[in-house]
Structure 1
Amino acid sequence: MNPHISLPRQHSSTFGGIAPSSSRSDAVRMPRFFKRLFKFPQMDFELAIWEMTSLMIAPKKVFRSIYYHKQTKNTWHRPDPSFTYLLALFLLLTALAWGVAYADGVLPTLRITLVFIFGHFLLASLAVSTLAYVLVGRLLGPGSGEEALEFGYCFDVSIRAFLPVWVVLYVVQFLLMPVVAKDYWISHFFGNLLYFVAAMYYTAITFLGYNALPFLQHTELLLAPVPILSILFVISLFGFNAAKHLAPVLWCGATLRKHV
């Protein structure tokens, strides 16, 4: 399934000449999302898989398709938890792998699983979504008119931006840990490069997500972290091994010392 919707970007508060009827108080509500939370037959897992593939190779396509959703559902947010469920499942599998490799027993592995899914993914995504809802809506919003940033859409952007972080730091880094956690400069370089790529991916997808909304202005400001991340990456090459100090499993109380 590969929708191709390409409409010109417009900085206006209307869509297709029709002013949306939703107010900002309605924008924060996600009743349809919660109603479909356990209705698995109604979830579009095919679309979620297409989005995951596209986010890694052509992320702009994912956010182009929201125009079609806005026209048919009159909301930017997709009240379908299929993407969240799939990514949570993938995190479960990688958490088990990290647990088998670095945890001592079943309970530590369970702790890693819970921290990965509910801490790193859901809680962090909710925190970023809340921050974006407040700051992006106020600083980059139209300032007037009925169109408003939806909290549900902010959550959509956050969980989709987390996908490349999972791929790079939870999958690729796990496979390369015996190499990138060594005390050699080349290990520092490739290990730190993983974190740099993950952060750049997260920033780029976040920008594309909000840039797709026609009523937001100056969304290029969301790319401000790019030069900062570039400088930090260069500085980190002089002695700081990100893989050895920031690996996801370390935030769960596990250790790397006996495995690298």
Structure 2
Amino acid sequence: MLPTTSVNSLDQGNGSLKSREAARHTAGAKRYKYLRRLLHFRHMDFEFALWQMLYLFTSPQKVYRNFHYRKQTKDQWARDDPAFLVLLSIWLCGSSIGFSFVLGLQFVEMVKLLLWVVFIDCVGVGLLLATLMWFISNKYLIKHPSRDYDVEWGYAFDVHLNAFYPLLVILHFIQLFFVHYIIMSESFIGYFVGNTFWLIAIGYYIYVTFLGYSALPFLKNTVILLYPFALLALIYVVSLAMGWNFTKMLCNFYTYRVG
């Protein structure tokens, strides 16, 4: 007789052996499909990605509600369409070019800044933060630690990208219109306006990150992800008292590292 496998033993709910083996088997295939779609722009849903970018500012809860729908329909929390990443890269390039003009950088320096912002500030830092949050959430925030539930690394990286986008627009686009005439001045209003932009941008990052992990029904105590707000507020008050200008420090750092 041919060897058989008990259907009941493989299909015992969400944590069944079959589902776990299927997840392991398809993880690489899903990753390969995602990377392959980067080469096929016609297959990307840029309209939906633009919708997500808009609602990350106005109602980020709706964006994470869509992640729930993806889990129900495609059995994964992470994005399977790289359109959002492509549009974010375009935003990075455009805003970095704008920052280069504000700083008066030459063409070669502008290219260096562009490469640094894309591959270090966004991708490099993003990989580190996503990995850190993936480890922390799986290690300490799972309600009932088991193999049945885990935070996908791809989802952790998506949460970073979601949180990074508003920060990018605030600091690398909106702020540019105030740099020369207000922020770079030596007056109190200069570093007040600049540091307030930083407060709003980083606050957005913390809040959108919190929403991303609180949207996962198998995580607990996600409110601790809001605790950095207290430290952020303290640094903001101290910076105003000490006269620190974070935007001026960033501009000096950009100029130094591409010089």
Superposed pair shares fold, TM > 0.5: yes
For residues 224 and 114 of structure 1, the distance between their equivalents in structure 2, rounded to whole angstroms, comes to: 33
**1:84-127 deviations in whole A, cap 9, x for unaligned?**
11011011111112222324421101111111211111111111
TM-score by length of 1: 0.85
**Secondary structure of the equivalent of 1:213?**
coil
* Cα RMSD, aligned residues only: 2.1
**Secondary structure of the equivalent of 1:190?**
helix
Of structures 1 and 2, the larger Rg is shown by 2
Runs of at least 5 residues in structure 2 that lack an aligned partner in the other structure: 1-12
Residue in 1 aligned with 2:131?
130
C-alpha displacement of 1:22: 3.8
Residue in 2 aligned with 1:8?
none
The farther-off stretch of 43-52 and 27-36 is 27-36
Alignment map for 1:114-193 (pairs within 5 Å)? 114-141=115-142, 142-178=144-180, 179-193=182-196
Contact 2:98 2:173 in 1 (8 A): no
For residues 27 and 251 of structure 1, the distance between their equivalents in structure 2, rounded to whole angstroms, comes to: 42
Residue in 1 aligned with 2:91?
90
C-alpha displacement of 1:27: 9.2
C-alpha displacement of 1:42: 1.1
Say whether residues 1:195 and 2:198 are aligned partners: yes
After TM superposition, what 4+ stretches of structure 1 lie above 3 angstroms from structure 2? Answer: 17-20, 22-29
| Bigger proportion of residues as helix | 2
Q: Of the candidates 198, 210, 214, which is equivalent to residue 211 of structure 1? A: 214
Calculate percent identity across the aligned residue pairs.
33
**Secondary structure of the equivalent of 1:253?**
helix
C-alpha displacement of 1:139: 0.9
The residue type paired with residue 91 of structure 1 is: L
Change (3 A) 1:240 1:28: farther
Higher relative contact order (CA closer than 8 Å, sequence separation 6+): 1
The residue type paired with residue 149 of structure 1 is: V
For residues 254 and 241 of structure 1, the distance between their equivalents in structure 2, rounded to whole angstroms, comes to: 18
**1:110-159 deviations in whole A, cap 9, x for unaligned?**
11111121111111111111111111111102312412110100111011
Contact 1:28 1:152 in 2 (8 A): no
Say whether residues 1:243 and 2:247 are aligned partners: yes
